[in-house]
Amino acid sequence: MLNRNQILETVEMVEKEHLDIRTVTMGISILSCTRETAEKTAAAVYDCVMKRAEKLVPTAQALSLEYGIPIVNKRVSVTPVSLVCAAFPEESGLVGRALDRVAKELGIDFLGGYSALIHKGTADYEAKFLQTIPAVLAETERLCASVNVGSSRSGINMDAVGEMGRIVKETAALTAERGGIGCCKLVVFCNAVEDNPFMAGAFHGVGEADTVVNVGVSGPGVVQHALKFVPGADLTDAAEVIKRTAFKITRAGQLIAKEAASRLGARFGIVDLSLAPTPARGDSVAHILEELGLETVGCHGTTAALALLNDAVKKGGVMASSRVGGLSGAFIPVSEDIGMIESAERGMIGLDKLEAMTCVCSVGLDMIAIPGDTPASTISAIIADEAAIGMVNNKTTAVRVIPVPGKKVGDEVQFGGLLGRAPVMPVHPGDASKFIGRGGLIPAPIHSFKN
Amino acid sequence: MRAVVTVAGTDRKGVIAEVSAFLAAKNVNILDVSQTILGGRFAMVMIVDISEASETLALLAEHASALGKEIGMDIRLQHADLFDAMHTV
């Protein structure tokens, strides 16, 4: 039987500590929508996603009311569009715009899957698809794009890495009047996962069933609050507190995921055990690290504290869910975390420390504003470094940087909503263009040969 | 189906009566009640059976919250499975 304190604890988590379900994401296969022309394909994709996701928003709203827990975002991910449009890649934008229309009409917050998987090589149709990304992201609001440029099995496709530096720059240029916001909807991966419910990197993998429901939980505020009660605990005990808290948070996610899947006539996919911050105070991953004893996130010790947090979240979460997946770890997006924003504004955290942090957590260099005049080859080099970390360590890494047009170090850019605001951070001035210009494939590490 | 009702706010006379009357009017059966004063604030937790309720859980939750605003208390009515999931292995 439930006791009063347990019940009040849950109510307090929701009311005061920002416990929420960050996203219910419906993954939809649109592979069967390919027709003989781009127009007909776009129409088929529109009909397919409209039909299957029709009840997503009302169902999530009903669940939120019944269980008394906010569901912040309702999202959809689809099969990588590059595959569906392989026969007419230059016209892929038609499908992208159709998907954006679906999202707007159904009240879906973000729709992911304007994606290409080119981790071993870039097919001709994929090269043409990549060129459509900047314009499509500039013309759409809710569509998200992602490109996988490397994997632990295949190595890093450096031709794709070189190209993505240019694509990121062009995307920023085409959305210059809005601070380069197009880049907030574009992520470059190494070891991309097929069941990620989080944006901008969600797509519905080809190994997935027709329609699945994946859920991403949240709750950095809950973890920080729990740690406040054990100020003198050693780190073993602190890890235990985080584990227990992660268990509770994840159980809420598992419950909503199973119920949502059943009501939507879809398969329950996975629960993503991520701690996802928002720009709201009291909902920050950085503040958890500071609660563990760091003066400010970014100081020495940050990587160790993050490693502890990430591991404890996984251990608590794995026990709480029958199937886990996605990215599962603590997120450290700079513009979306008030602790990160404030540390960056004071110059206490930079790209180098953030890169080190990505070695021990999900997912990568995320939502980082850099000077608008950063060369494309430098962005490619940032992507290459991050992909190398992912490839060698068998983990997902990603880069979502925004070269903000017209802005320089010390300026600030506002994206609004969950995307937050970010101070423009310096990048290293040295030139990597010759390295990036070589192209080719960085071979997979020796430990990838496991067969 | 069971739901959990939590009521919190400044202590005053008649709160239990008002909440119980609301539940009775909706044909909701009270299974368990626990009430205390925490730091001068009224805190009540009820476990209720809504199997024969006159409206859906979502509507009950909305109406309970509206009653809370009317009588100056925070009232939440939620599916009990959430609490079971979070606090039992």
In this complex, the residue of A4, A65, A251 whose CB is nearest that of residue B58 is: A65
**Residue B76 pLDDT class (50, 70, 90 cuts):** very high
Q: Same structural domain for residues A151 and A54?
A: yes
Domain boundary among A190, A224, A252: A190
The answer to whether residues A238 and A128 belong to one domain is no
From the list B47, B77, B83, the residue facing A10 with the nearest CB is B83
> Are A271 and A419 in a shared domain?
yes
CATH number, domain with residue A279 = 3.20.70.20
Q: Is residue A6 part of a domain?
A: no
A224 and A342 inside one domain:
yes
Inside any domain, residue A13: no
Predicted pLDDT of residue A434: 98
Please name which of A364, A376, A449 lies closest in space to residue A148, comparing C-alpha atoms. A364
Split into its structural domains, chain A has a count of: 2
Q: Compute the distance between CA of residue A3 and CA of residue B88 in angstroms, rounded to an integer.
A: 11
Q: Are residues A301 and A378 in the same domain?
A: yes
* Residue A6 backbone dihedrals phi, psi, to 5 degrees: -65, -45
Same domain, A142 and A247: no
Residues A381 and A262 in one domain: yes
Token duo for residue B38: 């925490």
Residue A12 lies in a domain: no
A174 and A226 housed in the same domain: no
The domain of B34 spans: 2-87
Instruction: Tell if the CB–CB gap between A7 and B43 is shorter than 8 Å.
Output: no
Q: Locate the chain B residue with the closest alpha carbon to A70.
A: B78
Across the interface, of A8, A10, A69, the residue whose CB is closest to B43 is A8
DSSP state letter for A405: T
Number of domains making up chain B: 1
Please give the residue of chain A at the shortest CA–CA distance from B45. A4
Q: Give the closest of B57, B84, B85 to A66, CB-based.
A: B57
Number of Cβ atoms within 10 Å of the Cβ of A215: 28
DSSP state for residue A211 in the 8-state scheme: E
Where in the sequence is the domain holding A276, given as residue range(s)? 216-440
Whether residue A67 and residue B78 make contact (CB cut-off 8 A), yes or no, is yes
Between chains, do A7 and B57 touch, taking CB under 8 Å as contact? no
Q: Which residue of B has its CA nearest to A58?
A: B58
Q: What are phi and psi of A13, to 5 degrees?
A: -60, -40
Among residues A214, A218, A195, A211, which one has the least CA distance to residue A258? A214
- Pairwise CB contact (< 8 Å): B78 & A254: no
Has residue A7 been placed in a domain?
no
Check CB contact under 8 Å for B47 and A2: yes
Contacts of A64 (CB under 8 A, 6+ apart): A21, A70, A71
Residues A274 and A423 in one domain: yes
* Residue A406 within a domain: yes
**Residue that has been written with the tokens 């009640």 in this structure:** B33
| Helix ranges, A192-276 (H) | 220-228, 235-264
A69 lies in some domain: yes
Q: Which pLDDT does position A143 carry in this prediction?
A: 98
CA–CA separation, A154 and A170 (whole Å): 28
Q: How much is the average pLDDT of B53-70?
A: 96
Sequence-distant (6+) residues with CB within 8 A of B21 are none
Q: What is the pLDDT of residue A282?
A: 87
Give the model's pLDDT for residue A240.
96
Residue A9 in domain? no
A-chain residues near B6 (CB < 8 A):
7-8, 11
Q: Are residues A112 and A237 in the same domain?
A: no
CA distance A340 to chain B (A): 29
* Boundary residue ending a domain (A142, A174, A190): A190
Of A170, A83, A102, give the one whose Cα is nearest residue A132: A170
Cα separations (Å) of A216 from A24, B42, B75? 7, 34, 27
Q: Which of A190, A207, A238 is the last residue of a domain?
A: A190
> Amino acid identity, residue A168?
V
- Please list every residue in chain A whose beta carbon sits closer than 8 Å to the beta carbon of residue B1: none
**For residue A252, which residues of chain B lie inside 8 Å, CB to CB?**
82, 85-86
Distance of alpha carbon A178 from alpha carbon A181, whole angstroms? 6
d(Cα A288, Cα A276) in Å, to the nearest integer? 12
- Render each residue's pLDDT in chain A as its tens digit; 451 residues: 678 888 989 998 988 888 899 999 999 999 999 999 999 999 999 999 999 999 999 999 999 999 999 999 999 999 999 999 999 999 999 999 999 999 999 999 999 999 999 999 999 999 999 999 999 999 999 999 999 999 999 999 999 999 999 999 999 999 999 999 999 999 999 999 999 999 999 999 999 999 999 999 888 999 999 999 999 999 999 999 999 999 999 999 999 999 999 999 999 999 998 888 988 888 999 999 999 999 999 999 999 999 999 999 999 999 999 899 988 888 899 999 999 999 999 999 999 999 999 999 878 999 999 999 999 999 999 999 999 999 999 999 999 999 999 999 999 999 988 889 999 999 999 999 999 999 999 999 998 888 8
CATH number at residue B51: 3.30.70.260
Is A297 found in the same domain as A155?
no
pLDDT of res. A218: 84
Of A229, A234, A233, A270, give the one whose Cα is nearest residue A250.
Answer: A270
Residues A287 and A353 in one domain: yes
